[in-house]
A and B are shown apart, each in its own frame.
Chain A
Amino acid sequence: MGKAQKIWWGILAVAMVGLPFAAGEFYVNLLSQIFIAVIFAAALNLLVGYGGLTSLGHASFLGVAAYISAWLFLKMGWSHLVIAPIAIIGTTLLACAFGWISLRATGLGFLMLTLALSQVLWGLGYRWVGVTDGDNGLRGLTRPQPFGIDLENATNFYFFALIVTAVALMLIARFVHSPFGAALRGTRDQPRRMSALGYNVWMVRWLTFVYSGFWVAVAGMLFIYYNKYIHPSSLSLTASAEALLAVIAGGAGTLGGPVVGAVIVVLLKNYVSSYVERWNMLLGFVFVFIVIFMPEGLVPGVKRLWLRFFVKPVVVPPEAAAGKEGQP
């Protein structure tokens, strides 16, 4: 990591930690929501950006983790400490099954299978009233109190979500730069060559699907803690599409892209929806704008423009440049 990069990370860290002491509760809550969307988008990006597998059903994992938690808490009366691992493991197992089915195909077939499976759950969310309370949704949860820290407090929740998000992004970045991550990108670019090189392409994709599902489940836990409420709309196509939009708008296959994309989607949703009822339309316009001017996504797009306008191409050979040092 370069010195300038370290400074930027330092500034970001200070800003994130200091923000709750400077900003009002509204902004603290807004950022907590952004954190949830960031984990969701970053996890989806593993599959979409690095694996070349576009899923349109990832809201299933967020929704199911939230529903399992809500149901166990409200109907069974279990404690959060027991529920959290059950919900995450249960949802990850669901991702095992969904991945196994969806990865019968790639490309459009894969997309349609993920969509179909998520639509089944969405339908269940509405119709299986005995468990989900249907259109009323499940409400009445409390937030957990890890080590006696009350997460009902907005600032406490903010730090809780911040830590989870930081850990998630670090592990996801590590995954991307690992040998397995390199294998995953290989299966995206040349699946046939990868199997000839000795990689089990299907297994690489499936494990990534499961890992991605795991992190979306974690996002689902934050979601249910934050909202204390879950409605079938969280399982809907719109919910999956929003996350996919965040990934593509920010820049699929980059680490920063989904973060930026998630910020944009959440901000638009929160700000614009208070002025314009059809906020989706504006999101659509923004998306079209990005696709036309930066088809690779905002993060790589801005980087490209930056390099073009602000950084002069280096044509001087290194020896000559070294010789010039020290001159005015």
Chain B
Amino acid sequence: MTAALEIRNLKKAFGGLPATNDVSLTVMPGERRLIIGPNGAGKTTLFNQIAGDLFCDSGSIKLFGQEVSRLKTHRRTHLGVARTYQIITLFPKDTLEHNLVLSLLGLLKTRWNSMMSLRANGHLYEEARRVLATVGLEHLAARPISEVSYGEKRRVEIAMALAQKPKLLLLDEPLAGLSREERVTVSKLVSGISRDTTVVLIEHDMDVALDLADQITVLHYGKVIVEGPRAEVVADPRTKEVYLGH
């Protein structure tokens, strides 16, 4: 079976500081992979290289068997990658509905059309509301992003990624900054994602995040320290040393 994501000897340095230092990892289709590591371990930098926001210095990234390390971000999106951001990146003045419509439109040829009215695409708005309903925000569809709570924005982030029915979903700290109840809501949402979608997740909150993962990769100073099934990684003394011990 072709891996959903296959990274080989990936390197990226900022100045002299290595952020990703010879990382290799393989994620199989349908897998739930959790990437953990202390601050500055290179987790988000790794995501940015997978998504295409950063180009690696050397190494290779394969998505569904295709080499993509030199492809631009938007090209990788069309191959089936979607992501959320650690720092919320939405369109604050626009409504929740419009945010979702932009997400749906991103994969359609219609996005180049400059002659028809966007509003005339009723099916996009219906679909947007349907996706919002799956994250429990349909009642806020007509509200601008700037008027909804932080937890709701997090759910919009996830909804925008899910709207594209990605084959590989990258979630960058989806639980960061949420209250206890909101964490439960969002983690339920993540665990409910269909197994047709491979999920790679960066998370700090071990309690909730562990339940979501099949496999765990521990990053430290840009290197993979431990990798394997959940129970093994948690029991490993090196994990405790670099992460859980702190």
Contact = CB atoms under 8 A, between A and B. Distances in A.
A178 B115 contact: yes
Contact of B91 (A175, A179, A186, A198): A186
A189 B92 CA distance: 9
A318 to B, nearest CB: 14
A151 to B, nearest CB: 29
A190 B91 contact: yes
Given A178-B113, A192-B53, A197 B118 contact: no
A179 B105 contact: yes
Given A186-B91, A189-B91, A178 B116 contact: yes
A182 B105 contact: yes
B77 interface: yes
Nearest to B105: A179
Given A189-B93, A197-B106, A199-B111, A178 B160 contact: no
A178 B91 contact: no
Contact of A182 (B77, B85, B93, B102): B102
B115 to A, nearest CB: 6
Nearest to B89: A193
B88 to A, nearest CB: 10
A178 B53 contact: no
A78 interface: no
A131 B89 CA distance: 51
A180 B111 contact: yes
B117 A178 contact: yes
Interface string B112-148: 1111111101000000000000000000000000000
Contacts of B90: 190, 193
Contacts of A180: 111-114
Contact of B74 (A181, A190, A201, A211): A201
A134 to B, nearest CB: 39
A182 to B, nearest CB: 5
Nearest to A176: B114
A161 to B, nearest CB: 24
Contacts of B197: none
A300 B101 CA distance: 26
A181 B83 CA distance: 24
A178 B117 CA distance: 5
Interface in A229-247: none
Contacts of B2: none
A242 B192 CA distance: 56
Interface in B69-118: 72-74, 77-78, 82-83, 85, 89-94, 98, 101-103, 105-107, 110-118
A203 to B, nearest CB: 9
Given A189-B93, A190-B90, A181 B118 contact: yes
A90 B20 CA distance: 48
Nearest to B160: A197
Nearest to A182: B118
Contacts of B72: 195, 200
A143 B116 CA distance: 35
Contacts of A190: 89-91
Nearest to B112: A180
B201 interface: no
Determine which residue in B82, B89, B101 has the highest number of CB atoms from chain A within 10 A of its CB, and name it: B89
A198 B118 contact: no
A47 interface: no
A179 B74 contact: no
Contacts of B106: 194, 197-199
A196 interface: yes
Contacts of A324: none
B112 A197 contact: no
A178 B119 CA distance: 8
A194 B103 CA distance: 8
Contact of B51 (A177, A196, A201): A196
Given A179-B116, A181-B118, A189-B91, 4 more contacts: A178-B116, A179-B112, A180-B114, A182-B101
Top 6 nearest A-B pairs (CB, nearest first) are A197-B106, A198-B106, A198-B77, A180-B114, A195-B73, A193-B89
6 contacts: A174-B115, A174-B117, A178-B117, A182-B101, A182-B102, A194-B102
